[in-house]
Structure formats: structure tokens, C-alpha cells
A and B are shown apart, each in its own frame.
Chain A
Amino acid sequence: MQRIGVFVCWCGSNIAATVDVEAVSQALSHEAGVVFSTNYQYMCSQAGQEMIQAAIHEHRLTGVVICSCSPRMHENTFRKTCERAGINPYMVEIANIREQCSWIHKDKAVGTEKAIILGRAAIAKVLLNAPLTAGTSPVTKRALVIGGGIAGIQTALDIADAGFEVDIVEKEPTIGGKMTQIDKTFPTLDCAACILTPKMVDAAQNEKIKIYAYSQVEAVKGFVGNFTVTIRRKARYVDEEKCTGCGLCTEKCPQKKVPNAFNLGLDTRRAIYIPFAQAVPKIATIDADYCTMLKTGKCGVCSKVCTAGAIDYHQQDTLIEEHYGAIVVATGYNPIQLDQFDEFAYSHSPDVVTSLELERLMNAAGPTGGTLLRPSDKTHPHTLVFVQCVGSRCDGGEKGKPYCSKICCMYTAKHAMLIREKYPDTEVYVFYIDVRTPGKNFDEFYRRAVEEYGVHYIKGMVGKVTPQNGKLYVQAADLLGGQQLKIEADMVVLAAAIEPDKSARPLATMLTASMDTNDFFTEAHPKLRPVESPTAGIFLSGACQGPKDIPETVAQAGAAASKVIGLLVKDHLVCNPCVAESNELMCNGCSACEKVCPYGAITYIDKEFRGPNRTTLLRRIAQVNPAVCQGCGACTVACPSGAMDLKGFSNGQIMAEVDAICR
């Protein structure tokens, strides 16, 4: 028979004001199995903990019930207290009489009665508790970073700096991500490439970092500390070991009419290409969709001019398998497609561009060599209209995104300011719903655009852009002036909403990491665990978790790295012992549990059983991997034969609690 001690906490007046704590400890002292019951002002204080430990020794307690705050708050505290006094930590139960009782009731009689009932339920459960021992699993001391933008690069550098090996998988031929396409960065206006490319080189030269560029994650197996990842290395048709990055092939290739993705299709490149001068790794790649040799078997110019003999038209994709202890998701963002927003004439006029396209049009390495020219006729634009929130903050869900894309107010102010500075003969208008510029030196930056650079900020939205006679006629509302505006513009720039990269959704499925309705990865806790996924061992870096600017991305990337380092320094991980367990005699092999398990913790095996008359029977039964199981209990509900049970939360224990409440 168990000997149970009950400890009722006042939590100062938090509990004691609406619950008669003395009455609760009195009432619970009469419950079956209870040999000791008391109350105290602050049970979690050192004096309170010592009181619990003394009672354990004095009354030879085998189980403990603490009536106090939520188990999220102090379950761990009290488990450790009891463990030090020699009781298995899983013999401790918390009855939450604060958040679920005293805080929500005003009437003391009602609160007291409910506290007694909750205490009774906890006692009923402890009576059925069994000591549980946590197992351990080893940790592979190597991390994988998926995505090689500024977020992934920073995370990898920080992990490598702590002495751990880290691999970056990047789907494009070069690392660097969106930041490589950006011209200047707000609010300091320093050149993006100047601050990014040294980091790219650092990553490439760091002996702890391995870069798999032009590669994709194909499959993920395993669990925290023990992931096995299959990586597809896409065929470049160029031998990475031999290519020196001289670029001769990219000058001689006769296929000149390939839209240049790096410049967002604003100019063309060859079928064999290096995305940009500072690419890392600086290796040529053949675009199989355009290469004449690959399509028709006739050409071979690049092979002839390559002095290193690096061209290999027969190269195939290869699959490699690597082991990791932690995985960081840094898949980033993209501007949305604007085909649903043709009121701005984006698909009908080349002079209507997105903000990212404008970055290329202002960049010295861009299609115009840094001189801002209209894409249609390569003339200097005099009047520019910026439209903010294109696809952001859309309600109703018919088109666009419900959220604020966060970075557009600042980069639009940057664009407007840079244009006014470089071309003082221009008139620049910005249409906005709200200007949102929180952040260090951000609002000052925006005000400079208005006050020093004379950018016309107009509250209101553009309704229609009509391209006609080489001009863009912009019809818009000026909400503060209460009038309709018509502006004859030369260029219109759209601040397109940003959305998670398309590769994020399939990746989330592979990782069993959760996402929100907009396909941003969800964090384990929005405030207290912002860089961890709820799935153990998966960490989040950068805009894959939500819209972010560069400083914020770098901060989060470092935070994710520190969490990874915290995991990788451990030799072993202690597993949660409250995991599912299948009773193999009752299991009928139906697979219901396997289908509902969100963590892939359940597998089926064929096992021999002894049958009647010395026969053997081969039966299919479920097996739970305790290192992967997170103890969610979905399988125990799904199991039709009652074979699946959760340790520490068995069906019997839950029913005993319910019975105690209904008594």
C-alpha cells in the first residue's frame, strides 16, 4: 500500500485568497492512502522544499501530491525535491489549484470545493503511479543547416565556431540567398554584398563547414541526436573538383537567350553560368533546360574551351546519406507572385517592377550597371510611384496574405531615399496604408526620407495603373487629403508581400515540424522558445519562421546556433520516460497507431509467439521507439484493441482521476 503525502501551497494570497487551504489539507488527509497532509505559504521556496523532504523521511512517503500552480511552472522543481529525498520523480503529482482554480473563481466556498476535488484526483492517480526511469540516447555531434542564405550561413558559422562540424545544404548553385540580390541595406545604407560575401567566403574556408550547394534534402529519418538525412546532389554537368571558376565557358556558350534568374529575368545569361562574380562555390553549372548539347546532343562548345576538362555531359544526380544530431531550417522567403494583382499592370508593362527587381536595377552588377533606367525603353525615369502592402495585410483570404510582411516599409523608404539622392530631378511618391518602422534607427531613417529627401508619402492605396503612350497613369486615393489623385508616372514599384519558400512545406513534412496556415514554421513557444520547433532537434533560423529583416535574421540565426551547440555538447540525451508502450499480447497489428503518430515513433515487426500444442504463431505487432516518442498519446486513443498505453498517463490512471472527480 502506498503512503502518500499531500502538500497544499498558499502561493501567498494567489491561492489562499480564494481557496481555504487549511480546509483543503484537512479534507485530503482523509483520502485513502494519505498518511500526511499539510499546507504552507510558499511550497516552492527552500523552506517549503525542505518541509517536503523532511515529511518524506519522517512518514516514509512513497508518493507525493502537491496542490499548487500549474505543472508547467514547478513540476520539475518538486520532482527534483523528491528525487533528492529518495523518491522516484515520477511518483510526484501536481494538482493545479492556481491557474485552474483560485485565479478563475471569486467565491471561496466554490474554489475550496474544486481544490479538494482536484487534489482527490491527483491522489487517485498517484496511487496507480509506478516509478519510471528515463533512458538515454547518444548524440551525433554534427549539425545540418538547410538553406544557405544569410540565416543559414550565420548559424553554420556560429556552430562551427564552437568546434562542431556543420553541413549547409543549399538548393541554388551558390550560397548567399536573397541578400546577394540586394543592393544596399537599411538603415545604414551599406552595400549588402560588401558585408555578405566575406561571410560566404568564411563559411567556404571554415574547415568545420561543408557546403552542399545545388543540393536538396531528399529524406529525413531518426530523431533528436540521431538524424539520418539523404541529400540529393543535383547534376551540374560540371566536375566540382576540376572546375576552377575561370568563367571562360560562360563567355563562349552560344546559347545566349536564357533569362537570368539572378537578375530576376531582367537580362539574359548563357546556358552554362556562374550566378554572380562572388558566387560560393565558384563553379559553373549547366542549365539543362536550355543547354543545346543536353537537349540535342549537338554543340559541346563549353567542353572544348574548358582547359580544366571539367565539363561532364553525362553527370547524374547522386544521393548521399549523412548523420546529424541537430537540424536547422533556414529556408527563407520569396516575394509572392503578382498575377492576382493586375490592377497594377505588372504583367502588362515592363516598367512596373517589384522592389526586388528594383534592387537589381540599382545594383552596379545588375543589368543596367547601376544606372536606374526604365526596362521598356532604357530611359531615365522622372516620376516614380511606390505602392506598399501589395498582397500584404489582405483580409478575407481571397488573394494575398493576411500578415504584414514587415520589411517593406523600410526598404521602400530606402529605395525612395536612394533615388532622390542619386537623381535629384525625380519626383518620388510612396502610397502606404500605415508606415511601420519600429527598430533601432528605423523611424529616424523613414523621417529622413520624408524630411530631408522630400519623398511624397501619401496615405492611401493605388487603385489602377494604366500603361498608355509610354507612361503609367496611376489612379490613387489620398485618404488624408480626401481626394482622388492621378499621377503620370514613368515607373511603378510594387512592394510585394513575402511568403515562405515553396520548399518549406515538403521539408516540414519530412521533419514532422509544424507550420502555421501561412506555411511559416511554428516555434515551440512564441515567446520563450522562439528558435526551436516543437519537434525535438529541429531549430529555426531566419524568415522561414516569419518575416524578418537582416539584423533580426542574424540575431535569430545566432540564437538557433546556441541552441544547437547546447544540444551537441551533450554526449547523451535523457529521454522522457512518459512514452507510449504497446502490450504485444493485445496488439492486433492494425497499423492505426502508426498512421496517427506525428513523430514516426511506431514501427511494426513480425514476432513469434507460442501457440497451443507447442506451435509457434507469427504475429505482426507494434513497437514504440522510446527515443522518438514524445508522449502525445495520439496512439493510445487510436488503438482499437486497447494495447497502446502511455507510461505515467495510462488509461487506468486517467479513469481513476475521472472517477475521483465524479465521486
Chain B
Amino acid sequence: MTYSYFPGCTLKTRAKDLDRWGHAAMEALGIELQELPEWQCCGAVYPIARDEIALRLSSVRALATARDLGQPLVTLCSACHHVIKRVNGDMQRDETIRDRANTYLQLDKPYEGEATVLHYLEVLRDAVGFDKLKEKVVKPLTGRKIGAYYGCLLLRPSAEMAFDDPENPTILEDFLRAIGAEPVIYAQRNECCGGYVTLEKRDFAKKRVAAIEDNAAALGAEALVTACPLCMYNLRENGNGMPVYYFTELLAEALGLKEVEA
């Protein structure tokens, strides 16, 4: 099975671990991720203004390329997934945005939201299957109590993201169980980490991270796992030392890939 893959800028710079182990793990699971040719920034922040077209264009370019290649488009970074998925929804549902974006881009064939956008976790759940994944685990993370940290971008707005229950998500917990770890369910796992204000209001961001870490720790978590490079940066920079991993790192570890490299 082959998918188109959109890494995004952060995964090539600060979040190399997310990308690298993600690739390695999928390869081990028999799935090929083909990097989209000539991909550009996703747009970084989803524009809320409906008449803001320019910031949507780079996502539309990626989506149109994925459509032309005829493969579902997989993303790994929460922010990229959020922006690309929502822009795809705009192109499917909003006639004004669709017309204006296509007028700007002048593609050979106008883009109308035909591509399928998937998050890496959805591929693990639906294409690989958590049951099958469990069978392929060679080094289960037995006894490790880990809190899944979802953040905001993957889950909300739930009607558009259609990813998981925004108030009681389960996909990361199911993933953790599949790789043999013990998921810790804590209430703050779907609350904002403060990452967006970390430069202007560092104190606030620190308060948010503390609330998340304290809540997870109180329920017995030894570490957090995330899919978002921004959360990762914020939790590490403004936290009190609780280890934070990308979920792909733990996946690679469970599949025995890290040892091979070492």
C-alpha cells in the first residue's frame, strides 16, 4: 500500500524525530509513504476569515498534487493536518472559496476537494489496524504508564476534523495499548497547551503546561506522548521535566527499529 505524504517544514527542521521514525515504522509495517514532489508550507495557521484566499493556496497545491497522483494524502504534524484537512473541507463545501482559489491557481484541472486527507494515526488504526500492529510489536512498552496528549489541533473543530470524540478521544490510548504501554487517561489531555502564546505570554504557557503535567502525573503518568511539534516544543521548553515523546518514536521503539539503528 502506498500513500502520498506531506511532511511539512517543522518535520524537516526541529521535529526530525517525528518524521524519521514515522517513515521507518511505516516501512516496517509494509506501507510506503511517498513524499509529495515540490511540497510547500501548508500555510501554518488555518485562516478563519472566509475571504482570506492566499493563505489557503499552498494547501490547495498539495491537495491538487495528491489528487493527481491518485493516492490518499497522509500528514503527521498536527498543525499541517489541521490546515490541510480544513482547507480540503472548504474546497468541498464552500463554493466561493473554491472558485477564488481555482481562479488564482489556474490548475490544468480545477481542484474541488477530491483528495482524501488522513492523519498518520488514522492509517495506523484503519489501514494497519491496532490489532495487527500489536502482533508486529517486538519490544512492547510493558509497564510504562504514558499519558496521551492530544492538544487542540487534531480534535477541533470536531465536525470538520472528524478525527475522534473531541471531549473523550481514544485513538492515542488505543495506540498506546497496541504497543504494550499503559495509557493514563487524564482530563487535561485535550486542553490547549498554550503553545500559540508561548512567545508573548510565556507565564501563561507555563501555567497551562503545569496544569497538563500535574494532572497527568497525579494519575500516574511517567511521560507524555504527542503528535504535534508545537506542543512538543512548548511542553519541553515550559514544562517541569516530564519526558515528552513523539508517538512515532515510541512506535519505532516498540517495533524494534531504534535498537537496529543503535
Contact present for A466 and B158 (CB under 8 Å): no
Asked whether B188 is an interface residue with its Cβ less than 8 Å from the other chain, the reply is yes
Contact present for A340 and B167 (CB under 8 Å): yes
* Chain B positions 147 through 189: 1 when the CB is less than 8 Å from some CB of chain A, otherwise 0: 0000000000011000001011000000000000000011110
Instruction: Determine which residue in A464, A466, A467, A469 has the highest number of CB atoms from chain B within 10 A of its CB, and name it.
Output: A466
Contact present for A348 and B187 (CB under 8 Å): yes
User: Which residues from B are CB-within-8-Å of A190?
Assistant: none
User: Which residues from A are CB-within-8-Å of B219?
Assistant: 468
A320 to B167, CA, bound (A): 47
Contact present for B218 and A469 (CB under 8 Å): yes
Give the Cβ gap from A327 to chain B, nearest Cβ, in Å. 40
Candidates A341, A343, A398, A468; contact of B215 at CB < 8 Å = A468
Instruction: Determine which residue in A340, A464, A468, A469 has the highest number of CB atoms from chain B within 10 A of its CB, and name it.
Output: A468
Give the Cβ gap from B173 to chain A, nearest Cβ, in Å. 12
Asked whether B122 is an interface residue with its Cβ less than 8 Å from the other chain, the reply is no
User: Which residues from B are CB-within-8-Å of A469?
Assistant: 218
Contact present for A467 and B167 (CB under 8 Å): no
Asked whether A150 is an interface residue with its Cβ less than 8 Å from the other chain, the reply is no
Contact present for B218 and A342 (CB under 8 Å): no
Asked whether A451 is an interface residue with its Cβ less than 8 Å from the other chain, the reply is no
Contact present for B168 and A468 (CB under 8 Å): no
* Chain A positions 366 through 401: 1 when the CB is less than 8 Å from some CB of chain B, otherwise 0: 000000000000000000000000000000001000
Known contacts A345-B187, A348-B185; is A466 also within 8 Å of B168 by CB? no
Contact present for A342 and B165 (CB under 8 Å): yes
User: Which residues from A are CB-within-8-Å of B167?
Assistant: 340-343
Contact present for A466 and B188 (CB under 8 Å): yes
CB contact list, A29-45 vs B, under 8 A: none
A169 to B241, CA, bound (A): 63
User: Which residues from A are CB-within-8-Å of B211?
Assistant: 466
Asked whether A511 is an interface residue with its Cβ less than 8 Å from the other chain, the reply is no
Q: Which size class do B's interface residues fall under?
A: 10 to 19
Known contacts A348-B185, A398-B158; is A468 also within 8 Å of B165 by CB? no
Asked whether B114 is an interface residue with its Cβ less than 8 Å from the other chain, the reply is no
Contact present for A464 and B187 (CB under 8 Å): yes
Contact present for B218 and A347 (CB under 8 Å): no
Contact present for A398 and B159 (CB under 8 Å): yes
User: Which residues from B are CB-within-8-Å of A464?
Assistant: 187-188, 191
Contact present for B187 and A467 (CB under 8 Å): yes
Contact present for B187 and A466 (CB under 8 Å): yes
User: Which residues from B are CB-within-8-Å of A341?
Assistant: 167
User: Which residues from B are CB-within-8-Å of A348?
Assistant: 185, 187
Asked whether B214 is an interface residue with its Cβ less than 8 Å from the other chain, the reply is yes
Residue of A nearest to B217 (CB): A468
User: Which residues from A are CB-within-8-Å of B186?
Assistant: 466, 468
CB contact list, B186-220 vs A, under 8 A: 186-188, 191, 211, 214-215, 218-219
Contact present for B215 and A342 (CB under 8 Å): no
How many residues from A make CB contacts under 8 Å with B? 15
User: Which residues from A are CB-within-8-Å of B165?
Assistant: 339-340, 342
User: Which residues from B are CB-within-8-Å of A466?
Assistant: 186-188, 211, 215
CB contact list, B79-132 vs A, under 8 A: none
Residue of B nearest to A349 (CB): B187
Residue of A nearest to B211 (CB): A466
Known contacts A342-B165, A343-B167; is A468 also within 8 Å of B214 by CB? yes
A648 to B187, CA, bound (A): 67
Contact present for A465 and B187 (CB under 8 Å): yes
Residue of A nearest to B185 (CB): A348
A469 to B158, CA, bound (A): 30
A493 to B33, CA, bound (A): 48
* Chain A positions 454 through 474: 1 when the CB is less than 8 Å from some CB of chain B, otherwise 0: 000000000011111100000
Candidates A342, A398, A465, A467; contact of B168 at CB < 8 Å = A342
CB contact list, A340-373 vs B, under 8 A: 340-343, 345, 347-348
Contact present for B187 and A347 (CB under 8 Å): no
A345 to B190, CA, bound (A): 12
Residue of A nearest to B218 (CB): A468
A341 to B168, CA, bound (A): 8
User: Which residues from A are CB-within-8-Å of B158?
Assistant: 398
A373 to B240, CA, bound (A): 36
User: Which residues from B are CB-within-8-Å of A398?
Assistant: 158-159
User: Which residues from A are CB-within-8-Å of B191?
Assistant: 464
A339 to B214, CA, bound (A): 25
A464 to B190, CA, bound (A): 10
User: Which residues from A are CB-within-8-Å of B187?
Assistant: 345, 348, 464-468
A466 to B185, CA, bound (A): 11
Residue of A nearest to B212 (CB): A466
User: Which residues from B are CB-within-8-Å of A465?
Assistant: 187
Contact present for A347 and B168 (CB under 8 Å): yes
A340 to B165, CA, bound (A): 8
CB contact list, A454-499 vs B, under 8 A: 464-469
User: Which residues from B are CB-within-8-Å of A347?
Assistant: 168
A119 to B249, CA, bound (A): 84
A339 to B166, CA, bound (A): 11
User: Which residues from A are CB-within-8-Å of B214?
Assistant: 468
A465 to B167, CA, bound (A): 11
A378 to B129, CA, bound (A): 41
Residue of A nearest to B187 (CB): A466
Give the Cβ gap from A412 to chain B, nearest Cβ, in Å. 22
A346 to B214, CA, bound (A): 20
Residue of B nearest to A344 (CB): B167
A464 to B215, CA, bound (A): 13
User: Which residues from B are CB-within-8-Å of A468?
Assistant: 186-187, 214-215, 218-219
A468 to B191, CA, bound (A): 15
A467 to B219, CA, bound (A): 9
Residue of B nearest to A347 (CB): B168
* Chain B positions 227 through 247: 1 when the CB is less than 8 Å from some CB of chain A, otherwise 0: 000000000000000000000
A343 to B191, CA, bound (A): 10
Give the Cβ gap from A376 to chain B, nearest Cβ, in Å. 14
A466 to B211, CA, bound (A): 10
A177 to B260, CA, bound (A): 65
Residue of B nearest to A469 (CB): B218
A345 to B191, CA, bound (A): 13
Give the Cβ gap from A245 to chain B, nearest Cβ, in Å. 42
CB contact list, A586-621 vs B, under 8 A: none
Give the Cβ gap from B59 to chain A, nearest Cβ, in Å. 25
Give the Cβ gap from A345 to chain B, nearest Cβ, in Å. 5
Residue of A nearest to B157 (CB): A398
A386 to B253, CA, bound (A): 45
Residue of B nearest to A472 (CB): B187
Give the Cβ gap from A57 to chain B, nearest Cβ, in Å. 69
Give the Cβ gap from A49 to chain B, nearest Cβ, in Å. 61
Residue of B nearest to A463 (CB): B191
A465 to B168, CA, bound (A): 12
Instruction: Determine which residue in B165, B168, B185, B191 has the highest number of CB atoms from chain A within 10 A of its CB, and name it.
Output: B168
User: Which residues from B are CB-within-8-Å of A340?
Assistant: 165, 167
Residue of A nearest to B168 (CB): A342
Give the Cβ gap from B206 to chain A, nearest Cβ, in Å. 16
Give the Cβ gap from B223 to chain A, nearest Cβ, in Å. 18
User: Which residues from A are CB-within-8-Å of B215?
Assistant: 466, 468
Give the Cβ gap from A12 to chain B, nearest Cβ, in Å. 53
User: Which residues from A are CB-within-8-Å of B218?
Assistant: 468-469
A343 to B168, CA, bound (A): 8
Please give 12 more A-B residue pairs, beta carbons under 8 A apart, in addition to A342-B165, A466-B215. A339-B168, A342-B167, A342-B168, A345-B187, A347-B168, A398-B159, A464-B191, A466-B187, A468-B186, A468-B214, A468-B219, A469-B218
Q: Can you list 13 A-B pairs with a CB-CB distance of less than 8 A?
A: A339-B168, A347-B168, A398-B158, A398-B159, A464-B188, A465-B187, A466-B187, A466-B188, A466-B215, A468-B186, A468-B187, A468-B219, A469-B218
Using CB atoms and an 8 Å cutoff, list the residues of chain A in contact with chain B.
339-343, 345, 347-348, 398, 464-469
- A-B pairs with the 7 shortest C-beta distances? A342-B168, A342-B167, A466-B187, A468-B218, A343-B167, A469-B218, A468-B215
